Amino acid sequence: MCGRYSITTAPEAIRRLFAVSDMINLEPRYNMAPMQRAPVIRERDGARHMDMLRWGLVPSWASDESRAASLINARSETVAEKPAFRDAYQKRRCLVPADGFYEWRKLGREKQPYRVSLAGDRPFAFAGLWERWSKAAEPVETFTLLTVEADPRIAHIHHRMPVMLAEDAAFEAWLVGEPPARASILRAYNGEDLIFAPVSRRVGNVRNDDAALLEPVPEPEAPVASDAAPPAPRQGSLF
CATH H-level superfamily of 4-214: SOS response associated peptidase-like (3.90.1680.10)
pLDDT attached to residue 224: 53
> If DSSP codes are grouped into helix, strand and coil, which group holds residue 235?
coil
The residues annotated with a catalytic role in the active site are 2, 103
pLDDT tens, N- to C-terminus, the chain (239 residues): 789 999 999 999 999 999 999 889 899 999 999 999 999 999 999 999 999 999 999 999 999 999 899 999 999 999 999 999 999 999 999 999 999 999 999 998 999 999 999 999 999 999 999 999 998 889 999 999 999 999 999 999 999 999 999 999 999 999 999 999 999 999 999 999 999 999 999 999 999 999 999 999 998 877 655 444 444 443 333 22
CA distances from 136 to 60, 65, 86, 141 (A): 11, 9, 22, 11
The angle formed by the CA atoms of residues 32, 37 and 43, to the nearest 5 degrees, is: 110
* CB crowding 168-198: b at 16 or more within 10 Å, else e: eebbebbbebeeeebeebbebbeeeebbbeb
Instruction: Please report, for the chain, the start and end positions of each structural domain, with discontinuous segments joined by +.
Output: 4-214
Q: How far apart are CA 15 and CA 48, in angstroms?
A: 10
The angle formed by the CA atoms of residues 141, 54 and 160, to the nearest 5 degrees, is: 115
